[in-house]
Structure 1
Amino acid sequence: MHVLNASITASRQQAVLAMLLLEANNVVPLGRLIDAVWEESPPSTAKSQIQICISALRRALRDTGLDDRIITNPAGYQIRIAEGELDLHIFNDLLTEARAALREQRLEDAASGFRQALALYRGFPLSGVDSRLVEAAATRIAERRLAVVEDCLELELHLGRHRETIDELMALVTEHPLRERLWQQLITALYRAGRQAEALAAYRSARQASIDDLGLEPSEPLRLLERAILNGDLESGPAVELEWPNPIEPAPSVPRMAPADIPDFTGYGELVTELADFLRYGSGQSDRDSVPVLTITGRGGAGKTTLAVHLVHELAAEFSDGQLFTRLGPERSHSGGLSQILDGFLRALGMPGSSIPEGLEARAATFRSQIAASRVLIVLDDVVDERQVYPLLPGSPSCGVIVTSRRRLAGIPGSRLVEVSALDQRDAVELLTRMVGTERASAEPREALRLVELCGRLPLALRIAAARLIARPHWRMAQLTERLEDEGRRLDELAHGGLDVRTNIAISYEGLDGQAQRLLRRLGLLETHDFPGWTAAPLLDIDVITASDTLDALVDAQLLEVVGGFGVDTRYRLHDLVRVYARERLAAEENAPARLEAARRLLGAWLFLADEAHRILYGGDYTVIHSQAERWKLPRHLVHDLLRDPLMWFENERAAAVAAVGQASQAGAPDYCWDLAITMVALFETGSYLDDWRATHEIALLTARQADDRLGTAAMLYSLGAVDIVEQRFDDARARLAQALQVFDEIGEARGRALALRHLAFLDRMHGDLDRAWARYSEALAALHPLGDAAGAAHILSGMARIKLEWGERGSAAELLAEALRKVTEVNGTRVQAMVLHRLGELHFEDGDLTRAEEELTKALKLVRGGHDRAGEAHVLHALGLVKLRQHQHHQAAVTLNHGYAIARRNGDRLATARFCLALARVHRARRDYSSALEWASQALGIFDQFHALLGRLEADELLGQIRDEAAGRPGLREQAALPPAV
C-alpha cells in the first residue's frame, strides 16, 4: 500500500505528510514541520495552520481506510506505518536481505534482491512536493538509490552478465558523467563482452568529463584499468570488488571560509574553553532551543577576530557542516551589501547562482532554510550595529554564531556578550616570544618586557612590532624599544581606539622609497579588501614588472599581505587600518587631479580587461555600446594568462569589477561607469548574476543622468530593458526600451537604435503583433548592416526566422537562418553560431526532416560543449532528445534527455528542468510506461505552477490528460500529441 497515493493535493498538506513519512513511526517536532512548509518567516498562525493540515490529512487518510494513523505528541506529530506499507521501508528490508545473501555468498539471491529493491523506484522521490526540506531529503534518497544501483551492477558483472549490463551502464554514465565507479563498470563490461575499442573509447569519455568538469585527471584505479586493457590483461587492472559498503549519504557542499588559525595563539585559556562550550551547548543545555550567539567586543587591536577564528578551528569537529565567514564594516550597512553576503553564503553552500532569489528578505529566508538542522558556525566580523546581524542569523539551534564588533551590541537576541581587552603581561611576553623566537627573546628579557608594555599588550601592536623584528634579523630588540620610547610616536600609535597603531604604520611607510609610498597611498583608492597584482601598474602608470617589484617592497614592509594564488593569480590584501592610513596619506600628499587621474587609469584597466573577456566569449566586439573612455592596456601575455578562462577570471574578480562601477560613479567618471557596466553584461548573463547586472546599471544610469550623458543614459536604459526581458518583466522592458530608442534617435546612435529595436521586436512577437515585430526587425537589420555587427545581425535574422515559421513560411525561415549562420561563421562567433544551428535543427524537426535536424543539432552540441556552455548544452540536448523520440529510438531519447535533465538541474534552471520532465513523460508514454509518464508530467506541472508559466502549464496539463486516457484504455490523439512543437 502506497500511503502517498491518498487524494492529497494541497501543497502544505503534501509537505507535512512527506515530513511525517520520512520519519515514519518517529515524532517530528512541530518546529520542523513549520520549517518545511514556510521557506520564509512563518506567520504568527503557523502552529494553528499546521494543526489544520494535520486534521485535513487525517480526514484524507480516513477516506482511504487508513484511520488513526497520525498521533499527536507533546513534542510534535507521528505517523504510524505498519510493516510493508511504505516503499522506503520495503526498499530497506529488501536491501538488508540482499546484503545478507551477499555475505553468505548466495550471489544470485543477492542480485535478485537488489533488483527487487530498485524496482520500487518510479522517477525522482517525492517530486512535486514544494518544500526545500523535503527536496533535500528526496535528493539524499535518490543518491542512496544510485549507490545501490552501483552495488547491483558490480555484483552482476561478477556473475558474468557483461552484455546484459552495457545498455544500463551507458545510460547511467550519460546521466552521471563524474561517477568513476560507473565508468569502471562500463569499461569492464565492454571489454569482457569483446568490445575492446569501445571500452577504450569509454575511458576517453570518462577522462574528458573529469577534465571538463573538475579540471582533474581520472583517479588511479581508472587509469590502471585503461592500462590493463591496452596490455590485453584486464585481470592486472583493478579487480571487481565484492565488499559493498552500506549506502552512504552524499557529502553536501561543506564551506570552510574561516581564515587559517594562527600557530602562536596565546592567552584566553579558560575563556576559550568556556566560550567553546557555550557555542556547543548554548546556556548549558545540550537540548537547546535557541541559536547560541557569541558577541566579542573590545577596542581596536585587542584580538577579537583572532579569538573568533581560533574558536572556529577549535569547534571544527562539532560544526561539521561548515563554517561561514564574512567581514562587514560600515560599507556593508545597507541592504545591498547584506544581500551580497547572503549571495556568497548560499553559493558557498552549493546553491547555483540562478536559484538564488532576489532581495534581502528572500535570500535571508532561503539561507535559513538551506542550513536548517545543519551544524554550521557563522562568523560575522567587524559588525557596526545590530541591524547588520539580523538578516544573517540562522533559524536552527543546531547552528552557532560569533559576532565581533568594536561596539557593545546588547540588542542581539540570545547573545552572550564578552569583552576582550589587553593581554596580561605573561601572555603578552609569551606571544612576543612565539613570534620572534625563544633565543632572541631570551637574549634580551628586560627589553622584551619593556616592548610589551610600550605596545600596551595589545596583540595587533605586538604583532606589528614583532613583524619588524622578524623583517630585520640584524636588529637587537632594544633598537625597536628605543624607537617606541618616543612618546609622541607611541601615543599616536597606541592610545586611540581603532587608530592606535598609526605610528607603527607610519614608521614602515617612511621606510619605503618614494614609489612604494605612492603605491601604498593609491592602494587606498581600492574598494575591496583584496586585489590582483596587476592593479599596481595602472595606479602608478608603470610597467607590470616594476609594479610587481614595488608590491613586493610593501609585502616586505608588512604593509601588504599575500593572501593566495601564484604568478599572475597572486592576490594581495591591505589590512583595514593600513588602508585607512593609506587614504589619509593620499588626501594629505596628492591633490584631487592626481587622485582622479590614478583612479581613471585603474578604471581604464578594468574596462580593457572587460572588453577582452567580452570578445573571447562573444567572438568579437559585438552587440555592445561603448563610450570614449580611454582604456589602460595591459601587456598581451598578461591578458592571455589572466583570461585563459574568462568565466573563472570574472568569478574571482566579480566583486572588484562591480565595485569599480561604483568607484567610477563616485569619482565623477560617468563614461567609465556605464561603459564598464554594459561591457560586463555577457559575463553577468553567463553566470546568472542578475542582481549585479541590475545594480551596476542602476548606479550607472543615475550617474549618466546627473552628468547629462545622453549616450550613457540610453545605453543603460537599453541594457536594463534587456535584463527585464530575461526576468520576464515585459512591461518594464518595453517602457525602458522605448525611452532608450527615443534618445538613440535624438543623438543619432545607430548601433544602440538597432539593438533597442531588436528587443522591442521580440516583445512585439511575444505579444502576437508579428507585423510590427517584422518591421522593427527589418529596420534594426538595415541599421546594423553598415556597422558590421555580425552577431547582432544573426540574432535579428533568427528572430525574423521565428516570425516566418509562425506565418507558415518555412522556406523563407530556412533562408534567413542560413544567412545568419554565414554571418557568424565568418567571424567565428561560436556562441551565436550554436544558437542559429539550434534554430535550424528545430526548423528541420518541424518539417519532419529528422536526419538534417540531427545533423544541425549535433553541430550545435559540439560548439556549446567546446565553449563549456552548460546552459546551451542542455537546450541542444532537449532538442536532440525530441528528435530521437520522433525517430522511435526510445532508449537513446531517454539517455539524451536524462543527460540534459541532469545538466539543467545542476545549472539551477528550473524552467528548463520542467521542459525535460515533459519530454521524458512523452518518452515513457511512447513506451506505454504510463506510471512513469504521469510522474514526469506531474513534476513538470508542479514547476510550471511555481513560475506561473501559463503556456507550459497548459501543455503539461493536456499531456497529463492524454496519458490518463491512454492508461485507462481510452485512446486519444496519440500521434498528434506524441511531440510538442519546437520552441
Structure 2
Amino acid sequence: MTDQAVDVGGPAEAQSGRFFGRQRELRSLRADIERAGLDTISGRKAPRARVLLIAGRPGSGRTALAEELAREVAADYPDGVLRARLTEPGGRRVPMERVARELLDSLGIASPPGAGEDELTWMVREALTVRRMLLLLDDAGDAEQVDPLLPDNPDCLAVAVAEGPLTGISDVRPCTLGGMDSKSAIELLGTFTGSVRITVDPQAAESIAEECGGLPTALVLVGGWLAARPRASVAHVAKRLRALPDEGEQPKVGRPLARAFRLVYESLPSPAAGMLRMLSLAPGGIADGHTASALVGCSVQSAEATLGDLADLGFLRSAGDYYELPGALLPLARTLMRAHDRPADVQLGRARMLERTVRQLHSCRAITEPDGSPARRKLAGLPRELRFSTAPAAAEWLAIRLPALLASARIAVEDGGLDTLARRLVAALVRALAAHRGTEDAAPELYGLHQLVLGVAERRGLHREQAAALLNLADLDVSTGRTEEALARYRAALDAGRAANDPYATGRAMESVGGAYQELEDWQRAADWYGRALAERQARGEWADGARLYGRLGAVHTYAGRYGEALRNWRAAVSGYRRLGDLPSRARALSEVARVQEYAGRPEDSLHTCHEAVELARQTGDARLQAALQLRLADTLGRLGDPTAARLHRAMAERLLGPEGTEGSTYEIRSASAED
C-alpha cells in the first residue's frame, strides 16, 4: 500500500531530514498518550485503543506532525506503524473495503476476494488485538471512517489526521493546528534562501511568514520561488504577496495558501503551467514522466525535466522514481485547469494518459513471456522508454504503481466518456496482475476489476462482456465460500450469454450453475443443470466437454447414492474418452467406475475394472497416474481381504514415484465426497 503522507511540510524537510517547529504540539500529544483515559479514571480497563486527533487544514503540516510523533514513539510499539489514507487527494473518500485490504496486506494477512467491509474491518481489528502497534489514519473525513478500524486493544495507539473533530468516538484527545510559530516558519524559509537573505531583512521574512499564515506548504512554495531567483530580495516577495488580490469566494483560512500558489504559478513558463494544471488528472496525484508526457503531449524526457522543475518550486514532492502532487495543492491546480483548459483538451489528455498506461501494462505482462514468443516480439517493437529490462523490474513497477493503476481504472470507468479505453485498461491490468502475481494471490484486486468491467458492460449493453465478468466474479465467490451469491451470478451470466448468442458463455454458465448446486449438495438440481449443459455441448459437437460432463453427472449421482445412474454416466464418459483417444482421462474415468461398483456392493467387478484402469495408465507412460491407480487397486484388494496383493501394489506405486516420492505426492483420483 502507499504510505506516503499527503500534507507534509514540503520538500525542504524531506531534503534536510529535519522537522520544523511544533514542539509544543508534540509535547502535548506525548502527554496525552500517557494521560489516563476516562475508563481508567473510573476504574475500568480501557476497552479500545487510545485515539489522538491531529486536526488542521490541508497544508498545515498535520501529516508531517503525525509522522514525527510516530517516529518519536515508535520504540513503544514494537510491532510497528500501520498507515492508511482514508481520503484521496481531491477529496474522494477511499472505500473502507480498500482501506482494510491495504492494512491487511501490510500485516501480511490474505484478504478474501469479494468480502464486504464489515468482514474486512473485523479482520483488521482482530489482527491488531494481538499486536502492539501504532495506527496512523491520514485524511480522515469523519468518525465513521475511523471507528471501524479501532482495535479492542488498549496497547495500540491510533493517530488520526483530519480537518475537523471526530464526533462520535469517545475520549478522543484533539490537537488543533494553526500556522507555525514565526521563528520556525522563518527557519523553514531559510532552508531555501540561505541565512544571509533572511538576516539582511528579518522583518520582511516575518512578513512572508505572516502572509503565508505560517502554513508549511505555502512557505515551501514561496521558498522554492526564492531559491530559483537568488537575486530576488525577501522584501520584494513580501510586497508581491501583499499586493495579490483575493480570488473569488476563496475561504479566508485558505487564502494564504492560494495566494502563495498563485504567486509561484504565475511565474511559470506556459508549458510548465499547463503541465501543472493537467497533473490534477493524474490518479491519486501520482505522476511520472510517462504520465506527464501523455497528459500534455510532449516527450518523456521533456516531461521529466519539467516535473523536476515543478518539484524544485515545491509544487510536487519526489517519491523515488515518481512525483506526488500534494493534496493541499490539487484542488487549486484543478480549479485552474477548469478555467484555462478546454474540455476537449482535457479529455484528450486523459485519453492519452490511459492509452500510455495500457501500453505500459502490455509491456509489463509481455516481459514474463518466454523469449521468442509473439508477446516478446511485440514488446521489442515498443519504444525503449515503454519497455522493461527484466521481469523483476516490471513486477516492482506494478507493485509500486498498483494503487494509482487501480484508481486510474476506477476513474476511467466512472467517467463514462472513455469506455473503450477503460475496458482495455482493465483487461491489461488483469493480465499483468495474473502474470506477475498469479490469479490466486491477485484475487482481491481482480474481483474489483471484474466489477468495473461489469459496470461498463451493463451501461453499454455489452452482453458478452457482461457474461464474462459475471462468470469471473462468480468463480471468485465460489472460491471464498459465497456459493449462494455465485449461483445468482451464474444465472445472470446465463441470461447475458443467451442475449449475446454466445454458446461458450451459455454452456459455461449452465455447467457452473450445476457446480454451484453440487457445492450446495442439491444433487437433483446439479444433475439437471449438468444434463442441460451436456445437451448443449453435444448439439455443438464438443465431444471432449461432453465426456467431461458425463463424468460430472456420474459424480453427482454417486454423491446422491444413485449408483445405477452413476455407472451409466461414468461408462458414457469412458466411451467418450475412447473415441477421443484420451488414454489418461479414460483411465481416470474407469477408476471412478470401479469406485461406484465398490459402493454398489460389486467388489469383484470393481477389482476387474481397477486392473483395466491400471493397464490403460501403463500405456500412457504417466508414472504419477499409474501410482495413483496402483494405490486405488491396493485399497480395493485390502477391502477384499487380500493384504499380500495390496502390499505388492502399494510397493509398486512407491517404486513408480521414485526415491523422493511419497504417498502424499500422488494425485488422488476421486469425485466422491471426502467422507466416502
Say whether the fold is shared (TM-score over 0.5): yes
Aligned to 2:419: 670
Q: 2:326 aligns with which of 553, 561, 575?
A: 575
Q: What is the identity, as a one-letter code, of the residue corresponding to 1:761?
A: E
Q: 1:598 to 1:643 in 2, by over 3 A?
A: farther
Partners of 1:425 and 1:330 lie apart in 2 by 31
Tell me which of 254, 257, 265 is aligned to 2:19. 265
- State the Cα distance separating 1:665 from its structure 2 match: 2.7
**Match runs of 1:102-251 below 5 Å:** none
Aligned to 1:656: 404
- 1:585 pairs, out of 326, 333, 336, with 336
Matches within 5 A, 1:379-458: 379-434=136-191, 436-458=193-215
Instruction: Assess if the C-alpha contact under 8 Å between 2:82 and 2:134 holds in 1.
Output: yes
Q: Aligned partners of 1:282 and 1:891: how far apart in 2?
A: 65
Q: Tell me the equivalent position of 2:622.
A: 853
8 Å CA contact 1:854–1:883 kept in 2: the answer is no
1:686 aligns with 2:439: yes
The alpha carbon displacement at 1:431 in A equals 3.4
- Which of residues 278, 295, 302 in structure 2 aligns to 1:539? 295
| Cα distance per residue 1:564-614 (max 9 Å; x no partner) | 2xxxxx221111132212211221112222222222222223333444556
TM-score normalised to structure 2 length: 0.72
Query: Which residue of structure 2 lines up, in the alignment, with residue 174 of structure 1?
Result: none
- For 1:598 and 1:524, the matched residues in 2 are separated by 11
Tell me the SS of whatever aligns to 1:375.
coil
Instruction: Return the alpha-carbon distance in structure 2 between the equivalents of residues 598 and 335 of structure 1.
Output: 24
Preserved contact between residue 664 and residue 670 of structure 1 (Cα < 8 Å) = yes
**Residues 951 and 474 of structure 1, relative CA distance in 2, 3 Å threshold:** farther
The match for 2:491 is: 735
Task: Within 5 Å, give how 1:776-795 maps onto structure 2.
Answer: 776-777=536-537
Q: Give the structure 1 partner of residue 451 of structure 2.
A: 698
Check whether the contact 2:86–2:94 (CA below 8 A) recurs between aligned residues: no
How far 1:364 sits from its partner (Å)? 1.3
Letter in 2 for 1:325: R
Structure 1: distance between partners of 2:448 and 2:537: 29
Residues 760-771 of structure 1 mapped to structure 2, 5 A cutoff: 760-764=510-514, 767-768=526-527
1:757 aligns with 507
2:56 matches 1:303: no
Identity of aligned residues (%): 23
Residue range with higher mean Cα deviation, 604-613 or 302-311: 604-613
User: What secondary structure, in the 3-state scheme, does the structure 1 residue paired with 2:19 have?
Assistant: coil
Distance apart, 1:397 and its partner CA: 0.5
Q: Where does the alignment leave 5 or more consecutive residues of structure 1 unmatched? A: 1-253, 565-569, 623-632, 746-751, 783-792, 822-842, 859-881, 898-914, 920-949, 956-983
Residue 331 of structure 1 deviates from its aligned partner by: 7.8
Structure-2 change in CA distance of 1:487 and 1:885 (3 Å): same
Q: Give, in whole Å, the separation in 1 of the partners of 2:153 and 2:191.
A: 39
Looking at structure 1, the residues matched to 553 and 463 of structure 2 have their Cα atoms a distance apart, in angstroms, of: 36
CA 1:532 to 1:540, structure 2 compared with 1: closer, same or farther past 3 Å?
same
Partners of 2:222 and 2:249 lie apart in 1 by 11
> What residue is the counterpart of 2:32 in the other structure?
278
Deviations 1:785-811 (A, max 9, x none): xxxxxxxx99x6995796699735568
Query: CA–CA distance in 2 between the matches of 1:421 and 1:282?
Result: 26
Matched residue SS, 2:621: helix
Q: Which residue of 1 aligns with 2:346?
A: 595
With over 3 angstroms needed to count, the CA separation of the structure-2 counterparts of 1:815 and 1:399, relative to structure 1, is farther
Cα distance, 1:722–1:778 mapped onto 2, change above 3 Å: farther
Aligned mates of 1:771, 1:294 — CA distance in 2: 62
Once the two structures are superposed, residues 176-219 of structure 1 have per-residue CA deviations (whole angstroms, 9 ceiling, x without a partner) of: xxxxxxxxxxxxxxxxxxxxxxxxxxxxxxxxxxxxxxxxxxxx
Shift in Å at residue 415 of structure 1? 0.7
Residues 519, 539 of structure 1: 8 Å contact kept: yes
Gap change, CA 1:460 and 1:609, over 3 Å in 2: closer
Equivalent-residue separation in structure 1 for 2:614 and 2:36 (angstroms): 63
1:954 match: 675
Aligned to 1:39: none
Q: Which of 319, 339, 346 is 2:97 aligned to? A: 339
In the alignment of these two chains, the number of paired residues is: 575
Distance 1:305 1:415, change over 3 A: same
Distance, in Å, in 2 between the alignment partners of 1:586 and 1:255 is: 26
Q: 1:309 to 1:820 in 2, by over 3 A?
A: farther
Q: Once the 2 structures are TM-superposed, how far is the Cα of residue 333 of structure 1 from its aligned partner?
A: 9.0
Provide, for residues 48-77 of structure 1, a one-character-per-residue CA deviation record: whole Å limited to 9, x for no partner.
xxxxxxxxxxxxxxxxxxxxxxxxxxxxxx
Residues in 1 aligned to 2:270 and 2:491: alpha-carbon distance in whole angstroms: 54
Return the letter of the residue paired with 1:560.
L
AA matched with 2:147: Y
Please give the alpha-carbon distance, in whole angstroms, between the structure 1 residues aligned to 2:461 and 2:490: 23
- Larger mean Cα displacement after TM superposition, 408-417 or 680-689: 680-689
SS in 2 for 1:576: coil
> Could you tell me how far 1:367 is from its partner in structure 2?
0.8
1:890-930 deviations in Å (ceiling 9; x for gaps): 98345986xxxxxxxxxxxxxxxxx99xx9xxxxxxxxxxx
Change in Cα spacing, 1:456 to 1:819, as seen in structure 2 (3 Å) is farther
1:543 and 1:753 map into 2 onto residues whose CA distance is 46
Q: Are 1:635 and 2:383 matched, yes or no? A: yes
Amino acid across the alignment from 1:557: L
**Cα deviation digits, residues 674-697 of structure 1 (max 9, x gap):** 443344444366254444434344
**Partner deviation per Cα, 1:224-249 (whole Å, 9 max, x = no partner):** xxxxxxxxxxxxxxxxxxxxxxxxxx
C-alpha RMSD of the superposition: 4.6
The answer to whether the Cα contact below 8 Å between 1:339 and 1:363 also exists between their aligned partners in 2 is yes
* Length-normalised TM-score, structure 1: 0.51
Rate the CA distance shift 1:596–1:615 in 2: closer, same or farther, 3 A.
same
Query: SS in structure 1 opposite 2:135?
Result: strand
Distance 2:540 2:579 in 1: 18
Deviations 1:263-304 (A, max 9, x none): 332333243123124325654979962421111113343322
Q: For residues 372-425 of structure 1, what are the alpha-carbon distances to aligned partners after superposition, in whole Å with 9 as ceiling and x for unaligned?
A: 142211111222111111112122100001112111224322211221222333
Q: 1:720 to 1:470 in 2, by over 3 A?
A: same
Can you give the 5+ residue segments of structure 2 that lack an aligned partner in the other structure? 374-380, 519-525, 556-569, 586-611, 628-649
Instruction: Name the counterpart of 1:358.
Output: 115
CA contact (8 A) 1:428 1:457 kept: yes
- Give the direction of change, closer, same or farther, for the CA distance of 1:805–1:361 in structure 2 (3 Å limit): closer
Kindly state the Cα deviation for residue 362 of structure 1 after the two structures are TM-superposed: 1.0
Distance 1:548 1:854, change over 3 A: farther
Aligned to 2:637: none
2:87 aligns to what?
A: 329
Question: Are the counterparts in 1 of residues 56 and 178 from structure 2 also a CA contact under 8 Å?
Answer: yes
Return the alpha-carbon distance in structure 1 between the equivalents of residues 23 and 136 of structure 2. 20
Query: Per chain length, whose mean CA-contact separation is higher, i.e. which structure has more relative contact order (CA < 8 Å, sep 6+)?
Result: 2
Q: Deviations over 1:772-792 (max 9, x none)?
A: 44444467787xxxxxxxxxx
Q: Is the 8 A contact 1:331 1:337 kept in 2?
A: no
| Letter paired with 1:670 | D
Q: 1:399 to 1:593 in 2, by over 3 A?
A: same
Alignment CA distance shift 1:815-1:312 (3 Å):
farther
Residue 472, structure 1, aligned to residue 193, structure 2: no
